[in-house]
Amino acid sequence: MQSRRVQVLLAACWSSSCLASISNVPDFATSEAGNPFVDGWYADPDTQFYNGEYWVYPTSSRPYDDQTYLDAFSSPDLVHWTKHSNILTADNFPWAHRAVWAPAPIYRNGTYYLYFGANDIQSDSELGGIGVGVAEHPEGPYTDPLGRPLIDAYHNGAQPIDQDVFIDDDGQAYMYYGGHSHANIVKLNDDMISLGTFDDGTTFKEITPENYVEGPQMLKRNGVYYLFWSEGGWTGPDYAVSYGMSSSPLGPFDRIAKILQQDEAVATGSGHNAVIQVPDTDIYYILYHRHPLGSSDGNDRHLAYDRLYFNDDSTIEPVKMLVHDNFEDGNMIGWETYGGGDWDASANVLRGNGGLALVNTNFSDFIYEADVKVSEPKNNDCGCHGHAGIVFRVSEASAENATFKGYYAGISTSGALFLGRVNGAELTVLASEEAGVVTAEQYRLKVTADGSSIQVAIDDEQHTAIKVTDDVYGSGMDGVRIFKAEAEFDNVNITRITSS
């Protein structure tokens, strides 16, 4: 994919000047402004870099009969995203009437191309397969140059879905595609809307690697061709991404390893990936969809991305789903509020004046850090001290009154640091120390929970730290709480503690 990214970049602006349009290089460990990085149910993302912006083209994750359109998202920095609705609709493709899936974008010859699967055909007697749309702009509208599918039948057992398009350094374009546990590669002619032939006269070559199910994706980096694919069932928790390597775009692609799979503390069903490179760097991200914890609907899928790291031997490290949020995108996507209160992140920090805000996680042993600023409420009629802080191992949260079960590490407007165990409306203070904190100043609050051992510190113990042993709650959601105060939170970071 490196080759096609660079070719798109050159075709779009013909010089490195367009790199200057990126205000700063997105050198992140994950989506620092939080995953999911866009709102709504989407799946099967593919990506391109067009005219100084990152573009993501996903499937709309809905029942098949409702999948009659495609949306896209663009961003100058992988943080601030703009939604482009209905860039392709079935109205412009008379043969496509349902299951419009897995768009694959590419730019060539002054034209933007978008390949997609439609109708989920189960046999050659049905109308459907892989289509292609053309447009003058990345956001469409995409129209049908053929009036029919580009690939409309099974070949080598491969269902015509889940296409990825790649242009190699020599200018040859390829399409990798296939469902039903078979993968093919075809050549695309220079017009990008017709198929070429290989030297042996064939059009379809099977390249199915071990454990392949669907969702092929091609990346070229430093002369190595990487084929990614998805394994398992897309509705289940075992959906995952593996990869193989080759010195040729035609393979063979021997399976190296599984690099992305569910994390029962973060999300399940992580698969159908894309890879995007930050131009003129060796920074890569893997984009994918995943199911939120506790969801039983296979169509409940969000988009996420994390960093892709390469070893010295060109193999890929396993991907870690990280939980970060610096609110630089100005929203609370991924957070749910409980118990009223006003919450807002439009100023690039999370502000509130009461209640709970939680992320859907289920960590047991972890390090949880966040910047916290606590202030007296504007109307403190009771003259009492309020508090705010971070909550963890949370369950049974009440949307009505913000009661829950779990732990609460808080900072009081009196200047104290405390750790409490919460059981519904009852707060039992397990430990408290005079920390000398000042209201309306920001502090870094850190919780380290490892089994029954819980430690709370402010600014890496420059002020104070408390330690307790308590095993009432073993795992649960994470978030923040405010009681009779106003507070700001920023730079949330939750990291699993792994046994050595």
Is 32 marked active-site? no
Alpha carbons 166 and 147: distance in angstroms, whole number: 23
Q: Evaluate the omega torsion of the peptide bond into residue 249 and state whether it is cis, within 30 degrees of 0.
A: no
Instruction: Compute the distance between CA of residue 401 and CA of residue 342 in angstroms, rounded to an integer.
Output: 13
Question: What DSSP character marks residue 208?
Answer: P
From the candidates 44, 306, 478, 486, give the one annotated as an active-site residue.
44
CA distance 422 to 125: 61
Residue 408: closest CA among 396, 424, 420 = 420
In this structure, the chain runs to a length of 500
CA distance to 30, 32, 142, 284, 484, per residue, from 444 (Å): 20, 17, 49, 30, 21
* Interatomic CA distance for residues 370 and 358, integer angstroms: 13
Q: Which of 82, 85, 53, 80 is nearest to 346 (CA)?
A: 80
3-state secondary structure of 445: strand
Q: Is 471 a catalytic residue?
A: no
Tell me how many degrees the CA angle 248-249-254 measures, rounded to the nearest 5.
70
- Look at the block and give the residue holding tokens 């000047």: 17
Could you please report the per-residue DSSP string of 458-479?
ETTTTS-EEEEE--S---EEEE
Catalytic residue from among 214, 478, 486, 488: 214
Q: Is residue 23 within 8 Å of residue 77, measured between CB atoms?
A: yes
- Strands 53-60, 69-75: pairing is antiparallel
Kindly provide the residue ranges of all beta strands, DSSP E only, lying in 295-412, ordered along the sequence.
302-308, 323-325, 335-338, 343-344, 350-352, 355-363, 366-375, 387-395, 404-412
**How far apart (Å, rounded) are the C-alpha atoms in residues 332 and 81?**
13
Active site residues: 44, 214
